[in-house]
Amino acid sequence: MAATVGGRKERAHSRALCPALSFVLQASAALLALSGCGESPAQCGGMPCHGPPGLPCRCGPSGLTNVAASGAGAPKQGGGFAGGFAKCAETPTQLLDRTQLLPADASVGISAGMDVAVSTTDLYLAVNYEDGGSVASTALMRIPLSGGHPSQAATFDGTEQGLLVVNQFVVIALSRRDSSGASTGEIIRLDLDGRNRTTLASGRIPSSSLFGPAGILATDDHNVYFAAEDGAKSVPLLGGAARSLTTNTGSLAVVGSNLVIADRSAGAIVSVPLQGGRVTTLVDHLSGALGPVVTCGDAICWASEDEVAPVQTGTGAITKLASSNGSTPSTLASDGGLYIVQRLAFDGTTFFATMGADASPGSLARIPAQGGSPVFMGAGFGLAIDDQCVYSAGALSGVYSVVKTYQGALQ
């Protein structure tokens, strides 16, 4: 691996309505207004059909039973297995149509960069957009997993940079620019119904670019850990003073009693005790964008990619570092389709990753735990998993759920 990444000029591709990530919706509000697929409703059994002309028709009432037409079978009510309620179905279910992603006060469009997080009953979706006053804003949507109408739980000034559901709360990281152009922002906690908003911490929350940082929020159910421009910090979930853990910053993961940080500027993966203390460098001399980082069994895994010009073909990788002292990183997957990993999750047997790069609304792939070529499942950017399901959200595809063992395409 090549050494040093300092001094690299980063392209200003913000998640909030930047050309690279939001081109799909900024230029034309009509794109979100598409409701027909150029096929007769009779072909959908008399129900409405959804999708742009020339692409497969999806049938069902918008946002409730839109099941992808991928050979997966007849439409099912969102979240249902035969014989009783489950959080997702054995074949893909569209929980939210793309026409429902645009907040009512949006003036231009939405960013392709978005996040999802899941509770036992609901999926939460954070959408970045510009409001009627051309102010960068975030809408938090709540989508029932058992079927039903989605609701807008809250709106915020600033762009969302991270989203968690922990215990009975939603935690969101927000970033904005002050009058001098410097980064500022907050870590905010809300009840699951969107009420009782509490600012846990304020600081220099970075606006992520295509090349990171992504995954700047983590939790151990007692504290929230977040990455600011001046380092990684922690704050009690129930409120209290924030404390600085290290000046290292980047993508975060809680691994046992330590916080692991994929620090691009240092070209290293480091760890620090959750309560603060000595920083340990786990591996260094890494190049390119680092993160997201996750725990993967008894090891640590992260995504990386070297920055290239938009006209060039980039390659992304998933790398594993065993917990034993002196271990050497091993590459689990390296593929052009993994350029650029924006979200990464691991459930013990499978990695799920979403990618977004220049002129791309995002894609979803699965990678075996032992490594190998990624298997692409369709469009998506926001990503969450739980004990049963994988959830994916995309600006052009909408929001989908399916059991994690599903091997086909979402759309």
CA torsion angle 356 360 362 364 (round to 10): -90
Per-range mean pLDDT, top range of 72-81, 123-132, 303-312: 123-132
Whether the pLDDT of residue 29 is over 70: the answer is no
Whether the pLDDT of residue 300 is over 60: the answer is yes
- The DSSP string of 358-386 is TT---EEEEEETT----EEEEE-SEEEE-
CA distance 150 to 97: 11
CA distance 94 to 400: 4
- Least confident range from 33-47, 164-178, 202-216, 291-305: namely 33-47
Alpha helices in 106-258 (DSSP H): none
Whether the pLDDT of residue 133 is over 80: the answer is no
- The DSSP string of 213-228 is ----EEE-SSEEEEEE
Query: 178 or 9, which is more confident?
Result: 178
Mean per-residue pLDDT, 164-182? 93
Contact 363, 392 (CB under 8 A): no
Structural tokens at position 362: 């995002």
What is the pLDDT at residue 211? 66
pLDDT band per the 50, 70, 90 thresholds, residue 359: low
Contact 238, 223 (CB under 8 A): no
Mean per-residue pLDDT, 295-304? 95
How do residues 55-107 score in pLDDT, each as one tens digit? 333 333 332 222 222 222 222 333 333 334 578 999 999 999 988 988 888 87
Q: What is the DSSP letter of 209?
A: B
Query: Whole-prediction pTM value?
Result: 0.81
Distance from chain centroid for Cα 318: 17
- Ordered by start, the domain boundaries in the chain are 30-83
Phi and psi at 134, nearest 5°, equal: 60, 35
CB count in 10 Å sphere of residue 172? 25
